[in-house]
Structure 1
Amino acid sequence: MSPLPLPAPASTPSTPSTTPASPVRSPATARLVHRAAALLPLLMIGVWAAVDWHSVRGGTARLASADPWWLLLAVLFTCLGWVAAACVRQGAIPDRLPPGLLLASQFAAGAANHVLPGSVGAHAVTLRFLQGRGIPLTRAGASIALYSLVKPIAKVPVLLVFVLAFPGMLELGELVPDDGTLLLAAGCVVLGPAAAALLVTAVRPLRRPALALVRTTLTDARLLHTRPSRVLALWGGAAVAPVLQACVLASVGASLGLPLSWAQVVFVFLAAGTAVGAVPAPGGIGPVDAALVFAMTAFGAPLGLATATVIGYRVLTVWLPLIPGTLVLSALVQRKVL
């Protein structure tokens, strides 16, 4: 007699795989990355200080013998410049931003702006700040685009006011660029937008984000110009900001005994910034400095005194706020405001 077949063993449910679908960053790694991001600005400032140490030492030595009251006035104008920048940032976006954090972000953006060329550092800090306030990336980018467009446009009527108020300043033929320089400037103005349009047309993945950015910018610009407070903050702040920077230069010149009037120094600053401000140097350092020295010597200032004035201006607007600005930047990163 054959044995009865044994029943098949009951099937057991398969155990799920313990391998994670995607790697998960540990809290320790996240903290390490966050601290590295907070210390990165300090590292970049240290490298830049080592490269440009001679200018810092020379400018500080010059300022040690300057009139302290004029220097105090220059510091006041420097602080007002950050307030003007915060006003322009607020005027470029319909959303209400917290004033204290906005001012702190612009103070930190000033430090980042002197590390990366073409205002990339300042725009990156502002972009992170706006995203931290819950503003979508497209609208934050539109705000930066509007800010970048308004600043050079608002400077032109201010320069025209100085030309009409002091027509004798245009009699200096040395300040008028030659035909080659004018042709190069015109070519840059034309080729810049043309190259951007060609890039967007040729690279298909860029078309949709670019068109969305343009549409958002136009929509927000129309909305902002229906609010008088935003119009005043946007255009008023953009017009006042370069004048405040020029007043810093004029105050430093007065502290050193520069034989130029206040109006001449302001005109020199506006003209030099308009002529070579588009050169992508960190914080405009380099091309703008050379243009300022050249323009002041054309007005009759001694070369050494004009150079000392520009170096002193850079010490007050760049080096003195650089360390505290970098510390504020690191603190904002550490607190996840940026």
Structure 2
Amino acid sequence: MLPLEDAPRSEAVPRPEVTRLLRTAPLLLPLLLIAAWLLIDRRSAYDGAALFVAADPWWLLAGVLFTGLGWVSAACVRQGAVPEPLPPGPLLASQFAAGAANHVLPASIGAHAVTLRFLQRQGVPLARATASLALYSLVRPVAKTFVLVAFVVASPGLLHLGDLVPDRRTLFLAAAAMALGLLTVALLVTFVRPLRGLVRTALTDVRLLHTRPCRILALWGGAAAAPLLQACVIFSVGAALGLSLSWTQVAFAFLAASTMAGAVPAPGGIGPVDAALVLALVAFGTTMGLATATVVGYRVLTVWVPLLPGALVLSELVRRKVL
């Protein structure tokens, strides 16, 4: 009888059923996440669907168009953040799929994970792909701040700034959170060696990208256009429901609300941004009910309508090994 350690080991061969399950799991995961989302937030989905019955369909169609242009702007920013040329069609499809993942996980983790996988599939090294995500995350809020300042400078009399500016306590908390975040980043870069290499890679790519006018236009132009397109979606939904505010007021309300509440790591910004946006619209003179209905309709167009198609595109990209 052979000793136990000398006994021949039989290699475990996975059964066909297990192999098939492992292959289909990435395709079914987005649909399972959507089902979980429906169970958690089914009231918003029901209320939003009810709004579309009485809304102006032409304004809603305009909102759908602006929603689609938002994915184009996201694709432009992603291209502007990497020196390598990316295929336009798969890039746009990946951003459409990333939108579905972004509304499931907080702080844009889902969208970044999809984009990181796409960039690696396109031959971008991991360090440079990760650096591009950091640049994307930095450029978006900076560009939004520039657009917000431009609104304040261009229309100082039209915008009721006194009703929207937060109090001193809120400003202090925001400043403290920003300082703590910068200190944390500085400490990590100082003491974590891989992060120092990542920062060097990012700075090298930033210098290279800003020597190419087409990359500058894609990066900063796409980042500046993104919040304006979101504001166009909100204005279109509001016009479909009878909102009487001007586009400038709606755009500034969205910029102020998303800037103040965007630091909260909610999935796709849903929750804090919605509450701040409702209050901003009310501050401009609309009713609470109409402001709430506008925000719910905006979420229906930007989250619920594209969620299932985005999940299907995500599954197809995984199946085709684009992701």
| TM-score when normalising by structure 1 | 0.90
CA distance in 1, matches of 2:195, 2:188: 10
CA distance in 1, matches of 2:72, 2:51: 28
Counterpart of 1:322 in structure 2 is 307
Counterpart of 1:94 in structure 2 is 83
CA distance in 2, matches of 1:93, 1:18: 52
Counterpart of 1:157 in structure 2 is 146
8 Å contact from structure 2 (residues 112, 133) kept in 1 = yes
Cα separation, partners in 2 of 1:27 and 1:94, compared to 1, 3 Å: farther
CA deviation digits over 1:113-167, x for unaligned, max 9? 0000000000000001111112111110001011111111111221122112211
CA distance in 1, matches of 2:170, 2:269: 19
CA distance in 1, matches of 2:142, 2:258: 13
Whichever residue aligns with residue 181 of structure 2, its letter is: G
Is 2:48 the partner of 1:59?
Answer: yes
Whichever residue aligns with residue 71 of structure 1, its letter is: L
Is 2:306 the partner of 1:306?
Answer: no
CA deviation digits over 1:270-293, x for unaligned, max 9? 111111112100000000000000
8 Å contact from structure 2 (residues 160, 284) kept in 1 = no
8 Å contact from structure 1 (residues 163, 169) kept in 2 = no
Counterpart of 1:5 in structure 2 is none
CA distance in 2, matches of 1:73, 1:282: 25
Shift of 1:17: 9.0
8 Å contact from structure 2 (residues 190, 196) kept in 1 = no
Is 2:65 the partner of 1:76?
Answer: yes
Cα separation, partners in 2 of 1:127 and 1:24, compared to 1, 3 Å: farther
CA distance in 1, matches of 2:249, 2:315: 39
Shift of 1:28: 6.4
CA deviation digits over 1:81-109, x for unaligned, max 9? 00000000000000111100000000000
Cα separation, partners in 2 of 1:170 and 1:29, compared to 1, 3 Å: same
- The equivalent position to 1:39 in structure 2, one of 28, 31, 36, is 28
SS of the residue 2:84 aligns to? coil
Counterpart of 2:204 in structure 1 is 219
8 Å contact from structure 2 (residues 49, 300) kept in 1 = yes
Shift of 1:32: 2.7
CA distance in 1, matches of 2:17, 2:185: 42
Shift of 1:35: 1.2
Counterpart of 1:294 in structure 2 is 279
8 Å contact from structure 1 (residues 172, 298) kept in 2 = no
Is 2:260 the partner of 1:275?
Answer: yes
Shift of 1:171: 3.6
Task: Determine which structure has more spread, i.e. the larger CA radius of gyration.
Answer: 1
- The equivalent position to 2:112 in structure 1, one of 123, 138, 142, is 123
Structure 1: gaps spanning 5 or more residues: 1-15
Is 2:198 the partner of 1:209?
Answer: no
Cα separation, partners in 2 of 1:136 and 1:18, compared to 1, 3 Å: farther
8 Å contact from structure 2 (residues 94, 115) kept in 1 = yes
Counterpart of 1:4 in structure 2 is none
CA distance in 2, matches of 1:294, 1:193: 29
CA distance in 2, matches of 1:74, 1:54: 22
CA distance in 2, matches of 1:25, 1:229: 50
CA distance in 2, matches of 1:215, 1:318: 36
Structure 2: gaps spanning 5 or more residues: 1-5
Cα separation, partners in 2 of 1:97 and 1:163, compared to 1, 3 Å: same
Counterpart of 2:316 in structure 1 is 331
Counterpart of 2:3 in structure 1 is none
Shift of 1:200: 5.3
CA distance in 1, matches of 2:183, 2:16: 46
Cα separation, partners in 2 of 1:171 and 1:308, compared to 1, 3 Å: closer
Is 2:220 the partner of 1:231?
Answer: no
Shift of 1:197: 3.4
SS of the residue 1:168 aligns to? coil
CA deviation digits over 1:213-238, x for unaligned, max 9? 10110000000011100000000000
8 Å contact from structure 1 (residues 105, 329) kept in 2 = yes
Runs of 4+ in 1 over 4 A off after TM superposition: 16-20, 22-31, 199-202
Shift of 1:195: 2.1
